[in-house]
Amino acid sequence: MAHPKRRTSKTRRDKRRTHDKLHPKAISICTNTGETHLRHKAYVVDGDLYLHGKVAIKNYAPVAAPAATDSDEE
């Protein structure tokens, strides 16, 4: 198996890692609703799903909603 002949210096290692960092998520404020949301993502306001500042789905209900638990069934 191949292995390095010389040890990699700290400078060379750090130059390689200059782009390995986290960036803050881009957050916008909708001009129509005034809600903060992630850019280029749909968001829910008052039960309606908005995308690009327009209503995409009225009375939006998520498909993967948690199941309601009833304590009387036990």
Over residues 42-62, mean pLDDT = 88
The answer to whether residue 6 scores a pLDDT higher than 90 is: yes
Count of Cβ atoms closer than 10 Å to residue 34 Cβ: 8
Whole-number pLDDT of residue 33: 86
The answer to whether 49 and 41 have CB atoms below 8 angstroms apart is no
Domain boundaries along the sequence of the chain: 26-63
Q: The whole model's pTM is what?
A: 0.53
